[in-house]
Structure formats: structure tokens, C-alpha cells
Structure 1
Amino acid sequence: MAFAAINSAGMPIAVIEEAFVTEPSLKKESTMRSHAPLFEDLARYTSSLQARTASTTLPIVPPPTDGPAAKKRKIQNGSSGETAQASVNLKDAPTQFYVQDISFSMPQRKKLTLEVTAGHRYLRARNQATKEVEFGVSMDQIRHALCLPVPEKTQKQFNFCIIPEFADGITPPPEGATAPDAMVFTVLDGPAKAAFSGSGQQIGNNLGETAEGLIRKILNENMLNSSVVRPDEREFVSAMPEAHRKGDKAYHVKAFRGSKEGYLFLLSTGILFAFKKPLLFFSFDTVESVSYTSVLQRTFNLNILARPRNGSEEDNEEFEFSMIDQDNFGGIDEYIKRHGLQDSSLAEARRAKVYNVNAPKNTDESAAAETTVVEEESELQKAQRELEDQEDEDEEDYNPGSEGESEGSGSSSDDDSEDEFHENAENVSDGDDEDLIKEELGSEAEDAGDDE
């Protein structure tokens, strides 16, 4: 092996620089003459390992099988100097940290080795059999990183969702550019049994340290533009506890997007719909408004109107999530109000849409007919109300005694007969009293005559 330069200790500079780029202390020790033979052997061995690894790796994003040839070349070689440099870094950068047997569900469903590189800060997944890098993303491209408990699992576990720029399902990449895929991988709750440093030393086995906590710590130390976000009960917690793990709080609500079932997580940075493809993340800066539709006794629908960060109002798209349990309505509504997300449930367009659910769509005639029906119903209701008011007034003004005898009705004949009966009874009573008085006075006069 030939080298371009030799240091003062007689060591090849290029080999030392390449082998110990991430270990300054070792590079400094290599300048000592007493250690020269040892470091020369180590440097050559390390360089040979790096060369073999580089020869078996792939670019960041594997080329699609159905794309045009020009596009394949762009992905492989990079559309700019930055992308080309990223591909080289992914292949050549030494590993700082790795965890074996990690279950990935996006963008591929298989067990891979999760790696974080040193210096250049890349997150990548390596095939454990072929040792090839399947996919990866630069840490400075990660816009959102989430750590969420997996719903409806007997054993507690966490899903890490890595969402690069333009991979949120809302904002598309610029024309001609290709965005890295979102990554989702699962970590069991418990100690890290297969986590190692770049030198092969096992880590994450301290008392009380978990695999989830270790990966979250490594990501936070290496990401440049974000940090890992976890659910917070101060933001939202489901009204229904986790059914499969009694005592655990649930931070999700089950919902459907079309026929696709998934989970909504209401987080401090936005709303996530997971864990189906495509993954959707509505950061607050993309949410135009939120509304409720089809509010029934047991379920309701949540509609999110989103605008791409690089788009205009014409690019707005509405996403509907249906069959949400009514028990979670209060918590979701409080979350929306707390973050100032505009509730457009009562907007004019929304009212028209809800009212006209059974009418034919996109026909001016049906809309006009509906308007006519509404107006006619209003006039009929108004006329009926006026008629009822008039009847009420007539009942209040009615006085039976003010009507003439000739205008009497059958309904008052019973009352007249009853009054006549009482008058006759009074007359009869008065006549009887007068006769009794006369009889008494007459009898007394007769008695007085007899005495004389």
C-alpha cells in the first residue's frame, strides 16, 4: 500500500486520518513512536473494514423500478452536490450507535439494524443478512420525530415516527425533487438488549434505562432542527383507557379515513393520523380550519382543512376522519380551542353541505329547488303561526254574556236552563215564606177574638 505522506513518526498520514477520524485521542496517540507499529496495524485493519462496508452499501433512496431512466440516475447520483454528498456519507460514515432486530413498518416491513452515523449525522437502516443499507435520511432533513405508544397491544411498546421534510402527506416536494420516505419502527418497552456503540460495546443497560429512552436520547443529541415529541395528557388523553392494558391511559382515538382504519394522536406540535400508509401529520402551520360533521348520538366526524406550506388557498385539501367515538368529543374540542384552530362547523359552506346531504350533487337545478322548498316552508309556517295567534286573540276576547238572545248557540243553552231553574227555585221559596207568615198572623188574631 502506497501513501502520499508520512508523519514525523514514520506513519502514513492518510491511513491514520481515515481510520481514526472520529477518535481524536487515538489519532493523537498514533504520533508517539513507541506506539507506531500497533497503530499502523490498527489503521490498516480499520481501513480495510471500511472499504468492504462501502463496497456493499446502497444510496440513501433506492431507485424505483417503474420510474424513467433519467429519474433513476438523479436519485442514485443526486440532483445536487448536497444529495451526492449525502449518498457518499451514507455509505462511508462510520457508525456511532446501532440497535439490532428493530421491526420497521415504513417504508419497508422487515427487521433491520437501526444505525446513527458519527460526524455526518445520518439515520439509516441496514439489512442484517446482506449488510446493505436499505434506506436512510439525514438528521437535518427530519422535520418531526414522534414517539407514541402503540394502541391495542397487550405488551407495551412504542412506535417512532420519523417524518422528513415533504413527507408529512400534506406538503409535496418541489417540482423535480424527491423527498425521503417517512420511517416508522417499533421498540418494546424494557431494557435495550441489542444496543451498541460504534466500537461494539453494549450500551443502554444502566438501571432503569429503557430502549425507548435510549433511542430518544440518541435522536435528540443528533437531530438539528427538531426533538422527539411524546403524547402529553395536558394536551389530550382519551376518555376511554387502554383496553388491552388496564390502568394505562390512551392518547389516541380510533378513526376511519375512507375505509382505512387508523388512530389520531393530538400532540403539542400537531395532529397525526397513523399507522397506515400514507402517514398524515397536520402541523399547526398547515391547518386552515377544523370542523365537525355527522354528529350523532354515538359518533361524529372530524374534518381538517389543510394548506401545504409551499401552497396557496387553491391548494387547500380537506381530510375527513369518521366514526370517532362521541365520548372523545369534549377532549378534542378543548384541544382545538386551546390551540386556536378555527372551528368552521357553522360556516356558511358547511351548513349548506350538511343540509343538502341527500340532494343530487353539482346541479344548479337541485340547489334552486331546495331553496324554493325552504322558502315555501317558511311561508306556510308563517301563515300557520298567524292563524294560531288570531285564534288565541279570539278566545281571549270572547264574553258569553255580551251576545244577544237571538245569537245564542247550542253550547250556552245548558247554562241558561240552569239559571232559570235557580230563579224558579228562589221564587217558590219566597212565596212559601209569605204564606207561612200570613197563616201565623191569622191564627193569632183568631185566638185573641175567642178570649174576648
Structure 2
Amino acid sequence: MAFSSINSSGVPIAAIEEAFATEPSLKKRVYDAIGTTPQHQPLFEDLAKHTSSLLARTAKTTLPSRPSASDGPAAKKRKLQNGDSGETAQASVDMKNGDAPVQFYVQDVSFATPQRKKLTLEITAGHRFLRARNQTTKEIEFGVSMDKIRHALCLPVPEKTQKQFNFCIIPEYADGITPPPEGTTVSEAMVFTIADGPAKAAFSGNGQQIGNGSGETAEGLLRKILNDNLSHTNVVRPDDRQFVSAMPEAHRKGEKAYHVKAFRGSKEGYLFLLSTGILFAFKKPLLFFSFDTIDSVSYTSVLQRTFNLNVMARPANSTEEDIQEFEFSMVDQDNFSGIDAYIKRHGLQDASLAEARRAKVYNVNKTGEDLAAPTAEGTGEGESELQKAQRELEDQEDEEEEDYDPGSDDSEGSGSSSEEDSEEEEEEAQDSDEDMDLVKNELGSEAEDAGDD
């Protein structure tokens, strides 16, 4: 052996052989060092063992390459440590491939979800990915395959002086309603803002500026590019025929508002009633109730100025046991008629008068008009669900008042008092009768005397 002259024992050291099996020149240098300084042999063995453990750990975390045709059907079933299939893992590799050809990109895009920072938005050619690139490091931060996008929404940003649009990209299993199957990796929902105006920072894949000077806005150009690449949906915008807020946009006078301010717990957000479902945005987690996931909608905690909107939702192809209730509170009463019309238009079942909810409808802070009895027209078919709820509560209170019998009060205190009052009244009546008899007797004797005279 080449190392027999420098290894005192003349026997290969297993740890060194394993660690440097693919590096013969390095292995020879290690044995040379041991031959020169035999006292350092334990140190080199420890270093070799540590090197072997690092190599093993790296091998476990390295993604497998795309299976070739010669691998056979078994290669398609190959699983990774995180439970993803090789196909899903390869898609992730393709998405993060910084050298993949880019079809379209926009610089300085403000993202709110899943990260809050400015990034370059890209749409790749070929495999068609929507992804975000770090503008400093040039690394791909996150992204999603166009084939996995189930909902794409373009919504005006509420309460901003300058008009802006938020694009909400909702991949499969990222709607906040439907949980992913076990072992499935899910791309997070994406929310990014595009300013209203010319597409100054939009470029084609070859770096040529596009859109600027044509009169097309950045928002319109991006919608067009997305629609050309989306497989399962198109970009949805608010529609006057679906819902318009009763209160115009406060920060941009004369402009219609399409949002409803609401709270989910302590978190403030906005409800958008769209042609494909109801969105609660823009903070994490994003909630999108597509029509096929809505089981029913109801109104609770009905007060003079606000009410709560409750959405009962369940994942697609699930059972009633999987139904979840989402409550959105402090919704302004001015928007009730528009919300109710939207619910009726889309045939969403209303459950406001269910027994389980009746106790939640409060009759407080009413004005004189609110407490007035409903007219015949108000109790007809044209009556809104809110009016029905109020009328049902008032009818129930009237029935309780009619059935009330003071004599049926069984409380000990009031019963004792009633008996004592009754006894006192009887005694007073007897005393009164005795007094009347005395007077009669006296008068009678005097009358007899007068008659004798």
C-alpha cells in the first residue's frame, strides 16, 4: 500500500477511508501527516468521523434530481423528508431557479403577504411561475405555480389618498377555509400593491420597457398578463352589480367604495363582496369564502347602528361536522340592505332566525320608530331578514307580557305580602260593617223616639 510506509500499523484506518473515499489525494496527505506525527492520529480520526457525519446530513437534505425515463414507475413514487412528491419538489426547484427565462417583471412592488417588503415581481416563461425576487441579493424569496392559483383578485385599497390596487393571489388550500391534505406543501397567499398610473417600472423578459406611453395603467397591464397565464381563473374586480358600499370612499371624494369595515375578534379588516365569493382582507390570515364553501350566512347582535355578519363555511367535499363559523362584527347598519341583497342574489341560505341564534339578537338602543309595530307591508314577503329578526323578538316579548299573571308569582316574599294584605283588607271590611251597624242602631233608636213624639 502507498501509505504502509507511513502508517505504523500498516492497516487502513476505517474512519479516514470512509471520509475521504472520493478524495484520494487528500486521504494520502492525512496518512502522511499521521506518519510524521503519530500522536495526532486520534485527532485525524475524529476529524474524519465529523466529516462523514456532515456528508451524510447533506445527502439527506439534498433534493433528488428529476427522474429519468429509465428509472421506471417507481421513481415517480419517490418521497422526500417533508412528505412532498418528487414532482412537487422539482416544481419548487424550478420556481427558485434564478436563471429561468422571465416573461414579465415589475420593479419596486410593495408586498404585504407573505413578507412585508419591496421586491421585484416576476412571471416566468415555460413553467409559468409568479414569484418575488429580492432586489438586493437577487435571490427568489417566494412564489407559486400559475397552475396552483385558484383565485386572483384586484381590489382598490380603502382609505388611501392616492388610488392604489391590492392584488390578492390565493393558491390552492390557501383560502383559510380548506386545509391541505397531509404531506402537501402549500404556497402562501400573496398580497401586493400596484399604484394607479402608467406602468413605468414594467418590463418584458428581455428588459424592454412596456406599457409606458401607451396609456395603459400598471394595474391594467398586470391584469392582462395574469389572465394570459392563469389556468383555473381570471382576475376578479369589484362590480357595481354585486355590491357597492352605502358610504362613498372618504379619502377620495366622489369615488365609490366597495369595501365594508368589520372586525374579526380584535383584528380590523375589510369585507369585499365579489362575483366569486366574500373576501376578508388584508391582514394575515387572508380569508376567502368562495360560494362552494359557504354553508349559510346570518345576522346577529343586531343593534341600532351595527350588526354582526356570521358566515358558516366548510371545505369543499366535506361533511357537516367540518363546518366552521366566522363572525365579523361591528358592520355598519347603512350597508345592511346592500349585503342582504347580495346574499339573496346568490342564493346563500340565511340562518338568522335559528333557535340557537335567537338569544344573540338584542333589542337595545332603539328609537321610537324602531319600536313601532310593523305594518302589514313590513311583515310581508318584502320584509328584510333584519326586520324579521326584530319583529320575531318583539312578538316573543308581547306573548310573555300577555301570559303574565301577577297571582301566579310563587316567590316567598311576594306571596306572604299578598296574604297579609288580604287579611288586613278582610279585617278592615269587618270593622267597617260593625261601624255601620252601630250607626244604624243609633239612628234607628233616634228614629223610633222621633216617631213616638
For Structure 1 versus Structure 2, the TM-score category normalised by the shorter chain is 0.5 to 0.7
Following TM superposition, the consecutive aligned residue runs of length 4 or more in structure 1 with deviations greater than 3 angstroms are 72-75, 352-357, 377-380, 382-385
Aligned length: 297
After superposition, the C-alpha distances for 1:290-310 in whole angstroms (9 at most, x for unaligned) are 000111111110000001114
Offset at residue 355 of structure 1 (A): 7.6
Q: 1:145-192, CA deviations, whole angstroms, 9 ceiling, x for partnerless residues?
A: 000000000000000000000000000101122211000000000001
User: How far did residue 85 of structure 1 move?
Assistant: 2.4
* Aligned counterparts, 1:208-219, within 5 A: 208-219=215-226
Shift, 1:80, TM fit: 1.1
2:403 to 375, 378, 381: 381
Cα distance in 2 for residues equivalent to 1:335 and 1:296: 21
Whichever residue aligns with residue 263 of structure 1, its letter is Y
Q: Structure 2: give runs of 5+ residues left out of the alignment.
A: 1-61, 64-78, 365-395, 408-453
Q: Is 1:234–2:241 an aligned residue pair?
A: yes
Alignment CA distance shift 1:74-1:157 (3 Å): farther
Q: Are the aligned partners of 2:154 and 2:237 in contact in 1 as well (CA < 8 Å)?
A: yes
Tell whether the 8 Å contact from 1:97 to 1:117 is kept in structure 2 after alignment: yes
Alpha-carbon separation, structure 1, partners of 2:177 and 2:249: 29
Q: Per the alignment, do residues 290 and 310 of structure 1 end up closer, same or farther by CA in structure 2, a change over 3 Å counting?
A: same
Counterpart in the other structure of 1:141? 148
Q: TM-score, normalised to structure 1's length?
A: 0.62
CA distance in 1 between partners of 2:302 and 2:363 (Å): 15
Corresponding residue number in structure 2 for 1:281: 288
Change (3 A) 1:379 1:205: closer
Report the counterpart of residue 331 of structure 1 in structure 2: 338
The 1:106–1:74 alpha-carbon spacing in structure 2 relative to 1, beyond 3 Å, is: farther
Instruction: Name the CA distance, whole Å, in 1 between partners of 2:166 and 2:361.
Output: 37
Task: Name 1:350's counterpart in structure 2.
Answer: 357
**Local SS of the residue matching 1:213:** helix
What SS does structure 2 have at the residue aligned with 1:184? strand
Secondary structure of 2:292's match? helix
SS at match of 1:181: coil
Task: Trace 1:108-119 onto structure 2 (pairs within 5 A).
Answer: 108-119=115-126
Query: What is the CA RMSD across the aligned residues, in angstroms?
Result: 2.5
Question: Counterpart in 2 of 1:152?
Answer: 159
1:313 to 311, 317, 320: 320
Deviation at 1:348, TM superposition (A): 2.2
Q: Distance in 2 between matches of 1:239 and 1:74?
A: 53
Distance change (3 Å), C-alpha of 1:380 and 1:187: closer
Partner of 1:79: 84
**Deviation sequence 1:4-53 (CA, Å, 0-9, x none):** xxxxxxxxxxxxxxxxxxxxxxxxxxxxxxxxxxxxxxxxxxxxxxxxxx
Residue 103 of structure 2 aligns to a residue whose secondary structure is strand
**Alpha-carbon displacement from aligned partner over 1:311-363 (angstroms, at most 9, x marks no partner):** 21111110000001110000000000000001100112222554899xxxxxx
Match of 1:231, SS state, is coil
Counterpart of 1:390 in structure 2 is none
Aligned counterparts, 1:59-78, within 5 A: 74=81
Give the secondary-structure state (helix, strand or coil) at the position aligned to 2:280: strand
Q: How far is 1:381 from its partner?
A: 2.0
Number of the residue aligned with 1:434:
none
SS at match of 2:104: strand
Aligned identity (percent) is: 80
The alignment partner of 1:82 has SS state of helix
User: 1:206 deviation in Å?
Assistant: 3.7
Given the alignment, which residue of 273, 277, 284 partners 1:266? Answer: 273
Residue in structure 1 matched with residue 17 of structure 2 by the alignment: none
1:391 is aligned to: none
For the structure 1 residues 147 and 380, does the alpha-carbon distance in structure 2 shift closer, same or farther, using more than 3 Å as the test? closer
1:99 is displaced (CA, Å) by 0.5
Per the TM alignment, residue 128 of structure 1 is displaced from its structure 2 partner at its CA by 0.4
Read off the aligned partner of 1:297 and give its amino acid letter.
Q
Tell me the amino acid that sits aligned with residue 92 of structure 2: S
- Given that 1:238 and 1:251 are in contact with CA atoms closer than 8 Å, whether structure 2 keeps it comes out as yes
Identify the residue that residue 182 of structure 1 maps to in structure 2.
189
**Cα drift, residue 204 of structure 1:** 1.1
Q: Is the 8 A contact 2:312 2:326 kept in 1?
A: yes
Distance 1:295 1:379, change over 3 A: closer
Q: 2:107 & 2:287 partners in 1: Cα distance?
A: 28
Secondary structure of the equivalent of 1:177? coil
Aligned mate of 2:134, from 105, 108, 127: 127
- Note the alpha carbon deviations across 1:348-390, whole angstroms, 9 max, x for none: 2222554899xxxxxxxxxxxxxxxx99x959726579xxxxx
Give the equivalent residue in structure 1 for 2:348. Answer: 341
Q: 1:356 and 1:330, CA in 2 relative to 1: closer, same or farther beyond 3 A?
A: closer
Q: 1:295 aligns to what SS in structure 2?
A: coil
Q: Are 2:272 and 2:278, in contact at CA under 8 Å, matched by a contact in 1?
A: yes
Task: Write the letter of the residue equivalent to 2:212.
Answer: N
- Aligned counterpart, 2:227: 220
For 2:94, the equivalent position in structure 1 comes to: 89
TM value normalised by structure 2: 0.62
Post-superposition CA distance 1:206-256 (Å, at most 9, x none): 432000001101100001111000000110000000000001100001000
The question of whether the paired residues in 2 share the 8 Å contact of 1:159 and 1:184 is answered with: yes
The structure whose Rg is larger is 1
How far apart in 2 are the matches of 1:114 and 1:74?
Answer: 30
- CA gap of 1:318–1:119, structure 2 versus 1, over 3 A, is same
Provide closer, same or farther for how the CA distance between residues 109 and 224 of structure 1 changes in structure 2, counting only shifts above 3 A: same
Q: Which amino acid aligns with 1:81?
A: G
Instruction: Point out where structure 1 has 5 or more consecutive residues left out of the alignment.
Output: 1-57, 60-71, 358-373, 386-452
1:87 counterpart letter in structure 2 = S
* One-letter identity of the residue aligned with 2:167: F
Q: Distance in 2 between matches of 1:383 and 1:296?
A: 31
